[in-house]
């Protein structure tokens, strides 16, 4: 009997479902095994269709995106009730993702910026009719409902999705990763690293074989879990941390700041220069993880 599946998109860019579709002909082996009961971003399902299923009657639910509105929370909770197994697809759903950087602003500030201040606006106004109520701050999905399986990544790779679906169908999921990206990365690393200079991604041409962090590029590999196949570092780009924290790491950004702090030669580069060179601290170290971090949002004192 085909496995009954329901898929939802909350606040997301649709990149993770795109990655699922990027499996192309490999889907021909998987799709006949699935009975897709709900996928509202692909065809004309309504929320009442999902609400109409009996609790626990759907085998697998897949969640892309994070809750920005009360409607998102309702859909997430409804899916949890209907499904036996829930998969978190991508870093938005797993950690809060890039959308989580909105936690650096209040919702009022964010709405004002988007709808009244953005340079491209022709008729600035904040919509207030027929729109769901926005949440004040973004909290990770797993603090709202439980998940059985997490597939982080921005986007999660097609291979990871295929492995998880095939594993589910066979009843033997791939083991969870237990190493950092540095363990998966083929670049040559020294026993002891000292950085005398920090570089942005666009500065210079990196040595094609040596560890990027050793060359001064901020590569999040030491604080990030394996799983992506080191796609970026193999292509000469430093890891941005989209797979989230490595094993036993509570706060990905704090881990990377600590790692960086311990390998910088402070006679060659001062702490002030380091901070200036990094520039956007949250965007660099917490790009995908802010709402899951120890400090998950901007806190302001009441005036």
Residue 64 or 251 having the CB closest to ligand SF4: 64
What residues have CB less than 8 Å from 96, skipping those under 6 apart? 66, 103, 138, 139, 140, 288, 289, 290, 291, 292, 296
CB 241, min distance to ligand SF4, A: 10
What residues have CB less than 8 Å from 142, skipping those under 6 apart? 88, 94, 150
Answer yes or no: are the C-beta atoms of 102 and 135 closer than 8 Å: no
Residue 12 or 23 having the CB closest to ligand SF4: 12
CB 261, min distance to ligand SF4, A: 15
Residue 88 or 296 having the CB closest to ligand SF4: 88
d(CA 66, CA 9): 8
CB 97, min distance to ligand SF4, A: 5
CB 234, min distance to ligand SF4, A: 9
d(CA 34, CA 23): 15
CB 204, min distance to ligand SF4, A: 15
Output DSSP code: residue 217: B
Other beta carbons within 10 Å of 21: 12
Residue 4 or 245 having the CB closest to ligand SF4: 245
What residues have CB less than 8 Å from 13, skipping those under 6 apart? 92
Residue 18 or 57 having the CB closest to ligand SF4: 18
CB 135, min distance to ligand SF4, A: 17
Token digits for 255?
């881990």
Residue 181 or 290 having the CB closest to ligand SF4: 181
Which residues of the shown chain bind ligand SF4 in the complex (CB under 6 A)?
12-13, 15-16, 64-65, 90-92, 97-98, 154-155, 181-182, 185, 187, 189, 211-213, 219, 221-222, 233, 239
- Residue 192 has, within 13 A of its CA and on its CB side, a CA count of 2
Answer yes or no: are the C-beta atoms of 157 and 229 closer than 8 Å: yes
d(CA 293, CA 260): 18
CB 211, min distance to ligand SF4, A: 3
Residue 38 or 289 having the CB closest to ligand SF4: 289
Q: Which of 17, 178, 177 is nearest to 93 (CA)?
A: 17
Answer yes or no: are the C-beta atoms of 164 and 173 closer than 8 Å: yes
The number of residues making up the chain comes to 303
For the chain, what is the radius of gyration of the CA atoms? 21
Residue 216 or 222 having the CB closest to ligand SF4: 222
Token digits for 167?
């594993």
CB 55, min distance to ligand SF4, A: 27
């Amino acid at each position: 009997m085909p496995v009954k599946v329901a898929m939802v998109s909350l606040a997301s860019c649709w990149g993770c479902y795109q990655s699922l579709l990027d499996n192309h002909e490999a889907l021909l082996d998987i799709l006949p095994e699935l009975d897709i009961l709900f996928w509202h971003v692909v065809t004309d399902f309504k929320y009442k269709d999902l609400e109409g299923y009996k609790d626990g009657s759907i085998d697998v639910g897949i969640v892309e995106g994070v809750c920005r509105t009360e409607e998102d929370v309702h859909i997430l909770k409804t899916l949890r009730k209907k499904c036996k197994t829930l998969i978190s697809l991508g870093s938005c759903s797993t950690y809060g993702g890039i959308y989580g950087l909105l936690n650096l602003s209040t919702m009022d500030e964010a709405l004002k910026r988007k709808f009244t201040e953005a340079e491209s606006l022709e008729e600035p106004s904040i919509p207030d009719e027929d729109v769901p109520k926005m949440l004040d701050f973004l909290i990770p999905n797993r603090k709202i409902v439980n998940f059985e399986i997490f597939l982080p990544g921005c986007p999660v790779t097609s291979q990871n999705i295929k492995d998880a679906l095939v594993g589910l169908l066979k009843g033997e999921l791939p083991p969870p990763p237990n190493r950092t990206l540095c363990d998966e990365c083929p670049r040559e690393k020294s026993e002891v690293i000292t950085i005398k200079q920090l570089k942005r991604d666009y500065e210079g041409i990196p040595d094609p074989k040596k560890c990027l962090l050793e060359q001064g590029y901020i590569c999040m590999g030491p604080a990030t879990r394996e799983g992506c196949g080191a796609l970026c570092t193999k292509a000469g780009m430093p890891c941005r941390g989209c797979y989230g924290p490595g094993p036993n790491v509570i706060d990905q950004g704090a881990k990377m700041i600590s790692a960086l702090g311990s390998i910088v030669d402070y006679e060659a580069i001062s702490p002030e220069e380091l901070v200036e060179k990094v520039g956007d601290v949250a965007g660099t170290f917490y790009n995908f993880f802010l709402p899951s971090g120890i400090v998950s949002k901007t806190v302001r004192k009441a005036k």
